[in-house]
Amino acid sequence: MKRRELMTLVGGLAIAWSLACYAQQPNPVAPKRVGLLDIGPCPPSERWWSGRLADLGWSKGTVVFDCVSTFGRLEELPALARELVSRHPDVLMAVTYRFIRALKQETTTIPIVMLATWEPVRTGLVASLARPEGNITGVVWFVFTAKQIQLLKEIVPNLRRLALIGNGNPPPEMKQIGEEDWTLAASTLGFTWQVFEPHIVSDYGEIFARIAADHFDAALIDLDQFNLQNTKLIIELALRHRIPAVSPASWMTKSGLLLGYGQDWVWSVTRASEYVDKILRGAKPSDLPIEQATKVQLTINLKTARALGVTVPPALLARADEVIE
């Protein structure tokens, strides 16, 4: 055999051998996909990468977040939930009843992890906390309506009329549950309440002007998406009209609201991440009991209290987890 033909043969055999060996190599493991239906802008914060999932062995190379946001377009929620489910993630995550319900209406097979919502049994999302029996599990929050007002009354002892700046066009089941909780709290603590539902941004100015003109003693800010999108405006209006206000979110208090009392968001994200980890490793959501949040934060903004001309009792300050000077 001529030398050129021999080299051609050897080269061909080498290429064939390399291709055969490559074909026998295992394919790279595809990353797991977590679909996030978010109320804030996408992409999700770095907290998703640097938090509990990273501690559990997941990195950017092994898990990928598909984020779809309703920020500024809540009316598109059903379509956005459908879009996220159509990407076929391994697990879905969302906050609040409205978002979880939208995902549930689109899939009964992809696992859904609740980051934080209220009353999943009373609203029919799950059969029970101990045995969810479907594709939904995760973390739920307590409703602290009575406790929030009780704390507010320590700062505003003459509180008799309360304005609830609530959820514009809430689902009927959530509206009924909310009215039941408010009626019970009002009868226990001795106040009357009225719901104000903003639908467009300009509604906030009109609402706070009316609250002040009608001599409401205080306000509670509900954590629905429209309020979250307009937090800065809400805080500015509450200060301008000298309305003491409470919300379930400590970060609102840090931004200027008088009082915050509710579950710890970081704790909820951490625990929900552990549910995601278990599901990505093969657990079924129906086998994972839903966990009720136990870590609660009381935050007081003293700077706002001085601006409003109200006095925070020393005993209440001593119980606070954080005081903003």
pTM of the model: 0.82
Picking from 101, 13, 93, 102, the residue whose alpha carbon sits closest to that of residue 274 is: 93
Residues 71 and 198 in one domain: no
Residues 247 and 274 in one domain: no
Question: What does the pLDDT read at residue 22?
Answer: 40
Residues 198 and 310 in one domain: yes
Residues 130 and 258 in one domain: no
Question: What does the pLDDT read at residue 28?
Answer: 57
* CB 44, CB 36: distance < 8 Å: yes
Count of domains observed in the chain: 2
Residues 311 and 203 in one domain: yes
> Which residue range forms the structural domain that includes residue 301?
145-263+296-324
Question: What does the pLDDT read at residue 255?
Answer: 93
Q: What CATH number corresponds to the domain at position 318?
A: 3.40.50.2300
Residues 244 and 279 in one domain: no
Question: What does the pLDDT read at residue 50?
Answer: 62
Residues 190 and 269 in one domain: no
Below-50 pLDDT ranges, the chain = 1-27
Q: Is 325 helix (H, G, I), strand (E, B) or coil?
A: coil
In this structure, are strands 296-301 and 218-221 parallel, antiparallel, or unpaired? unpaired
Domain assignment of residue 2, yes or no: no
Residues 259 and 165 in one domain: yes
Residues 80 and 153 in one domain: no
Retrieve residue 271's tokens.
Answer: 């625990």
Residues 317 and 208 in one domain: yes
Q: Distance between CA 272 and CA 293 in Å, rounded?
A: 10
Domain assignment of residue 14, yes or no: no
Computed from CA positions of residues 301, 306, 308, 311, in that sequence, does the dihedral angle turn out positive or negative? Answer: positive
